[in-house]
Amino acid sequence: MGNRLLLRIVALGGVLAAHMMSPTTLRAQVITELPDAAPTSDATPPPSATTTASSGANGANTASGETIAAQVGTRLTVRVQNPVAHQKLDDTASNGEAQVILAGKVHPLLSWQAGFIGSYGSPPGATNHNAAVLDLVGKVDIAEAFHLWLGRMPIPSDRAGLSTVWTMAPWTLPGRYNDYAVLPPAAGPRQGEYDRGDGITLWGQWAAGKLKYYLGVFGLEQPLKSPLYTGRLCLNLLTPEPGFFTSSTYYGSQDVLAFGVGGQHQTSGSLELAPFVQSDFNELNADILFEKNGGAAGVIDVEASLAKQWGDAEPYAYQWFALVSYLLPIDIGIGRFQPLLRVEHATGGPTAGGTGSTRVDAQLGYLIDGHHARIVTVYQYTSLQGETETAILLGLQLLSRVR
């Protein structure tokens, strides 16, 4: 029995290796349910709403004839920054992660998804290595307007949390100002370890994803604490965005004008001020994404988000960011360049004495194949509660497709 299992694992590894080395065509991700987002040539029009909806997905469906689908991704970062004097650019460190996502369907209404992550150098400059369960979801997909997911998954509240770092143009998530903290308190919605939470989500969509809702209960692995209630509503006025996950850029493969609102509540969920002294945590947020493919004029992206947090022990009160990017319409070598500027700010909460934090990311991306292959260079300026920091990031992202 043990030898058979070993042979199956080796065979699966061989299949995955052969798949990743073979050429593939553009199509949607059936594992993460993310629409393909790769630069399109001037001669290739963006996919229509019908095409996107049919290839995008309402569960981790495997391809015809397959029992298990798989996706592998790696993100590697080189960081130029002094780990002690953070305003100096005289030292270098690296960190990275690899994710393996497996999924299958056991019944037309029942499917599952399991994801695993391995990382090194977290926080930046550290030497520790980590491995953990990323996703572990059982899915009951009854209808377009009614999906019930149970397990470990992203906590739905804002667009950034549902996009994850894999499908947003900036290299890092917003609201993370203290890169060297082991558990940096993020400004904005609660996300949990690895930006995942353990709980239940009821979600659905209409008009192939033009209108979507999410209702979730998380923190169920901690029975002595009150659960975190979360919700989100998203309206797309142009091309729909089907599926549980979303993207913060489509690199011109579709035009988007989307508005989202979300909120969270946790009784006695604010950080502890003193023994047995806690207050409720409440959060409201709103975001907008506009992307337009101008053909020979290039692709413009504008995104903004605002979040308000309440709680007697919260380090932040408000969090906002604004982003603009431009994808050049011409190929240079094997890819296209995309300059990007993101400015974000968090005002200090009760535990920060009113002192806030600001970050500016000036990024130049080189897109070889959208989310599946890209290289970025980022200059990062941070004012962390009055202390100035600078860093240069060099990032490489590779994400396989699924047949």
pTM for this predicted structure:
0.82
How many residues are given for the chain? 403
Mean pLDDT of 217-242: 93
Residue 32 has a pLDDT of 46
5 pLDDT more than 60 = no
Q: What's the pLDDT score for residue 257?
A: 98
Mean pLDDT of 121-141: 81
Chain segment 102-123, per-residue pLDDT in tens: 999 999 999 999 999 999 886 6
Contact 325, 169 (CB under 8 A): yes
User: What share of the chain in percent tops pLDDT 70?
Assistant: 78
Tell me: pLDDT of 23 over 60: no
Tell me the per-residue pLDDT of 63-88, one tens digit each, with 9 for 90 and over: 444 578 999 999 999 999 998 888 99
pLDDT digits (tens, 9 = 90+) for 257-301: 999 999 999 998 886 655 566 789 999 999 999 999 999 999 999
How many angstroms separate the CA atoms of 233 and 110, rounded? 25
Give the model confidence (pLDDT) of 348-367 as tens digits.
887 766 678 999 999 999 99
What are the structural domains of the chain?
A: 2-399 (2.40.160.10)
The answer to whether 265 and 216 are in contact (CB under 8 A) is: no
